[in-house]
Chain A
């Protein structure tokens, strides 16, 4: 497949890795922001190609993992209602709320359906005028254009039986929150390529300057990630702190303007709680006043509530890059993808699930078999 296979070439990967070895003279800690990158790093064993001095830590960029328990609980309440068709991306179905998950609600008779695109949910609302269709609108800037368009089209069609439970999150405020934490060990970031495909990368210039930290917009294939790491290390070694774009084949500095326009129209920036991290100011998207009638939390009059995470789960520390999954006492024993304690074990983009799938046995043996 064009634009795919050539970025997975093992020989070229070795070459990039050799160059990283050549330029590295000191220890550096680099965070990849996006769960898609974490998945690729662990799957292809990219971390094992790197010099020992380079530590990759896995960032909070898995939307499934950071959706707060309270919102999952709200989703479960809505999905259990008899008049509701609850629609969601497939990876949200197994995320544990405080007592159960969407799959269990479905097994008990709830009408829970997986959709590929939020527009499929709008279509369901048109086809089922007597049912209340609710879409679970989660994700980063990458899914926001899709959910914004679904709300916009629902408004244009005058749909009264469509609404959205929204828990959108934004990357730059999360980077800011990480960097301003006293525990922060991150010295360079691989920014999430597809988030930047939508938003561009102007937002990162003030962050790079304020925290004197290199930020390299990076793609998702092995060669992209190695190239992104190389550019970051080159900056670190020479004392630079710039915003660079490794992923220029899909990302422009300004990003996707039509998508940004619709996001601005339909949503407004709100404070948002991140599972395992806590509330981050200005870090989420909620419906703007003009589209507030599509807010499912309001429509079904769900009260705010606070719940505690399972005590054993250290997903919060993992999402901040302070611990690795195998350092969790429950990892692979009491907590598995079949019986996840935390969201990072559920989603394929979550660090715990990536380690479980690819690193359960001997990590070296896996790297050798690759």
Chain B
């Protein structure tokens, strides 16, 4: 029950934050989930969903960090064949 993957919000219904629901696309499978805990989410955002509830919005800028880190590692490697920390 803890395995969760990110999905994309394709539509939102309901105004009351407590009952706000969204249709989420998980690689082609659409599920209706509660958006009660992510009031800031809009259509097009990616969310992490657990047992029918979106728990957090995926932050695009933060998502790039590990790739940036790997890129920096490469660049350092190019400069210093021995590799520096």
- Partner-B contacts on A (CB < 8 A): 1-4, 6-7, 12, 15-16, 19, 22-23, 34-36, 39, 61-64, 89, 91, 116-120, 138-140, 142-143, 145-146, 149, 153, 192, 194, 197-198, 220, 223-224, 227, 246, 248-252, 256, 258-259, 348-349
Contact = CB atoms under 8 A, between A and B. Distances in A.
B77 to A, nearest CB: 9
B28 to A, nearest CB: 9
B59 A248 contact: yes
A244 B21 CA distance: 33
13 contacts: A3-B63, A36-B3, A61-B2, A62-B2, A117-B51, A119-B52, A143-B50, A145-B55, A146-B53, A220-B4, A249-B58, A249-B65, A256-B37
Sorted from nearest, which 4 A-B pairs have the closest CB atoms?
A117-B52, A249-B63, A249-B62, A248-B62
Interface string B14-26: 0001100000001
A139 B18 CA distance: 22
Contact of B6 (A4, A19, A223, A258): A4
A19 B59 contact: no
Contacts of B56: 197, 250-252, 256
Contacts of B8: 2
A34 B83 contact: no
B70 A250 contact: no
A12 B51 contact: no
Contact of A194 (B26, B36, B48): B48
Interface residues of B, number: 41
Contacts of B74: 15
A24 to B, nearest CB: 13
A22 B2 CA distance: 33
A255 to B, nearest CB: 8
A126 B55 CA distance: 25
B31 to A, nearest CB: 8
A79 to B, nearest CB: 18
Nearest to B25: A1
A118 B50 CA distance: 11
A256 B53 CA distance: 12
A321 B60 CA distance: 35
B51 A64 contact: no
B43 interface: no
B10 to A, nearest CB: 13
A246 B83 CA distance: 23
B52 A118 contact: yes
B60 to A, nearest CB: 8
Given A16-B70, A224-B66, A348-B3, A143 B59 contact: no
B1 A194 contact: no
Contacts of A34: 2
Given A6-B67, A12-B70, A194-B50, A250 B3 contact: no
B51 A36 contact: no
A153 B19 CA distance: 9
B66 A223 contact: yes
Nearest to B6: A3
A220 B3 contact: yes
A197 B55 contact: yes
A63 B2 contact: yes
Interface string B43-81: 000101011110111111011011101100110000000
B70 A15 contact: yes
B33 A140 contact: no
A25 to B, nearest CB: 13
Contacts of B17: 258
Given A197-B55, A227-B69, A248-B59, A142 B50 contact: yes
Nearest to A5: B27
A146 B1 CA distance: 12
